[in-house]
Chain A
Amino acid sequence: MIKWVKERIQKWRKRRERKRKLKELAEKDPFIYD
């Protein structure tokens, strides 16, 4: 059970980090075309 919770937290952290990076990238270098 504890292992499962740890894994979930890790996954959630990873996802949050990826989202933050994408947001940062979008602010720094936005797409030049739709």
Chain B
Amino acid sequence: MTYWGVSAMSHDAALAVYQNDKIVYASHGERYSRIKNDQNLHAEQISEALQYGRPERVFFYENTTKKKTRQARSGQYRLLFKESPSTYMKKLGVDVPVTMFDHHYSHAAYGYYSSGLYQETCDVLVIDSIGEFETISVWRGRHGKLHKAWSQDYPHSVGLWYSAMTQRLGLKPQEHEYILMGMAALGDPGRFYQTIRDDFFECLPGHNNPEVRFRENLHRGCLWWRRDLVNVQDYVDIAAAVQKIYEEIFVGILSWMSKITESDQVAIVGGCALNCVANTLAYNFYERVWIPPNPGDAGSSIGAIMAALEKPVVVHDAYLGTEINGEYPFQDVLQDLEGRGISAVASGPAEFGPRALGHRSILADPRLLGIKDQVNKIKQREEFRPFAPMILREHAARYFHLPRTDFDAPYMQYAIPCISPQLYPGITHIDGTSRVQTVDRCHGNVRTLLERWYERTGCPMLLNTSLNIKGEPLVNTREDAERWSVVHGLAVRTAK
């Protein structure tokens, strides 16, 4: 039995293939078109998926009929004439029945059924810009079934507000929110905290009420807000205040959720679940926190399949995309790291998700002074932006203040305070935190690479960043890797 899960026609198009009780393939449209957050699937991607046979049915990640009702209400009239998912798939040569699921249900299903908590109780928090109407929803998973406990509707959307503020800072909304999050550590949150609260919010969530209400509909951004604030210091202070308020909202909802349920486990999904600084705060309310590797809309391609089957589906790891066949180039990478202190690798199946987890990565020795500047220069990124470390899981507690002893972050979803930030400036942000990836057996070759690096140097950690430059999607194929080597002057070690 083969099913496809599809997320497309809006942003972050993705395609997942389910066969024999497991996800055998999943990939992002952007990796084929080389357009960041591309909304379309591509012929090459479809033909890769067809290698597993024709699907019997396609599960679509949102209900476009409901969505059009909301678009009509918000005045997005042109979008009402957009084709249906069924017509869209037919144009791609896949003429099979298409079933649609609600946007937040697809998210929630992905969070719950991938959490490994199928038989237990687990709360699910979905928080993003907009689904059809929903912007935040809280679900309870019990005995394998999901029930919606509470939701909040458009136009009151935390995700939209965060994106609007991103745009207000001169960044690209729905793409550069992570830059705002990084900028926040440089600013003084107190300077604009009260102003932003007063100007935008009617009420914020708390222990007794999860509701967030805005004074304005921010669907068209908020470029009108405080046009007098134009210098860099203003911008970083705004970013700091925005992040602080977002964390307060996040904590308020979790506090309410943990009060009304007896569960000590939570899954967090939706685009806002990529806010790794806030995510760590969930450990103050729950014993176990699960964030799947691709919590945004692209991950809902898997979520739609899980929503349809209403059961857990085996997703072995996040390496589900285009394969670069051959042996992982351990020797070449280690030689580069010991020589120049920096290496690039493209080997095995590509990561399905926004983070490079060692199959399409630039790796560097985190102990070297100036390594951050060197990598930032290659990647053409802003100087202030930090890099993430990947570390052997059993060594993580020696280097980081983990929120729990059994803490695990296989997909880089939490910002954790570093014990000695001065020793590893390349992987520590200005606030002394790092977005850690703990490397375990599930990481396969990446684990072996890190073990060999540890044997040679006594350091269980490597700087790990995505193999791309700013504004570009991750390298996907062997040809992409070769092109990247030539253009950016750093040899990419590919599978042999």
Interface residues of A (CB under 8 A from B): 22, 25, 29-34
Report whether B10 and A34 are in contact in the complex, using a CB–CB cutoff of 8 Å.
yes
Report whether B223 and A33 are in contact in the complex, using a CB–CB cutoff of 8 Å.
no
Q: Return the CB mask of B143-180 against A: 1 if under 8 Å, else 0.
A: 00000000000000000100110010000011000000
Report whether B10 and A31 are in contact in the complex, using a CB–CB cutoff of 8 Å.
no
Q: Does B11 contact A (CB under 8 A)?
A: yes
Measured between beta carbons, the chain B residues less than 8 angstroms from A30 are: 220
Given the interface contacts A34-B10, A34-B71, does A29 sit within 8 Å of B76 by beta carbon?
no
Which applies to chain A's interface (DSSP): helix, strand, loop or mixed? loop
Measured between beta carbons, the chain B residues less than 8 angstroms from A29 are: 220-221, 223-224
Q: Tell me the bound Cα distance from A32 to B171 in angstroms.
A: 12
How many A-B contacts if CB must be within 8 Å?
A: 33
Sort A-B residue pairs by CB-CB distance and give the 3 closest, nearest first: A29-B220, A32-B173, A34-B10
Interface residues of B (CB under 8 A from A): 10-11, 71, 74-76, 79, 129-130, 160, 163-164, 167, 173-174, 218-221, 223-224
Contact partner, A33, options B75, B219, B224, Cβ 8 Å = B219
Measured between beta carbons, the chain B residues less than 8 angstroms from A33 are: 129-130, 160, 163, 173-174, 219
Residue of A nearest to B39 (CB): A34
Q: Tell me the bound Cα distance from A30 to B141 in angstroms.
A: 38
Report whether A32 and B163 are in contact in the complex, using a CB–CB cutoff of 8 Å.
yes
Q: List 10 A-B contacts (CB under 8 A).
A: A29-B220, A29-B223, A31-B74, A31-B219, A32-B219, A32-B220, A32-B221, A33-B160, A33-B163, A33-B173
Q: Tell me the bound Cα distance from A30 to B74 in angstroms.
A: 12
Report whether A34 and B11 are in contact in the complex, using a CB–CB cutoff of 8 Å.
yes
Report whether B76 and A31 are in contact in the complex, using a CB–CB cutoff of 8 Å.
yes
Q: Tell me the bound Cα distance from A18 to B223 in angstroms.
A: 22
Q: Tell me the bound Cα distance from A30 to B219 in angstroms.
A: 9
Q: Tell me the bound Cα distance from A32 to B224 in angstroms.
A: 14
Measured between beta carbons, the chain B residues less than 8 angstroms from A25 are: 220
Measured between beta carbons, the chain A residues less than 8 angstroms from B173 are: 32-33
Q: Tell me the bound Cα distance from A4 to B444 in angstroms.
A: 78
Minimum CB–CB distance from A33 to chain B (whole Å) comes to 5
Measured between beta carbons, the chain A residues less than 8 angstroms from B220 are: 25, 29-32
Q: Tell me the bound Cα distance from A32 to B74 in angstroms.
A: 12
Q: A25-B220, A33-B129, A33-B174 are known; give 20 further A-B pairs, CB within 8 A.
A: A22-B75, A29-B220, A29-B221, A29-B223, A29-B224, A30-B220, A31-B219, A32-B163, A32-B164, A32-B167, A32-B173, A32-B174, A32-B218, A32-B219, A32-B221, A33-B130, A33-B160, A33-B173, A34-B10, A34-B79
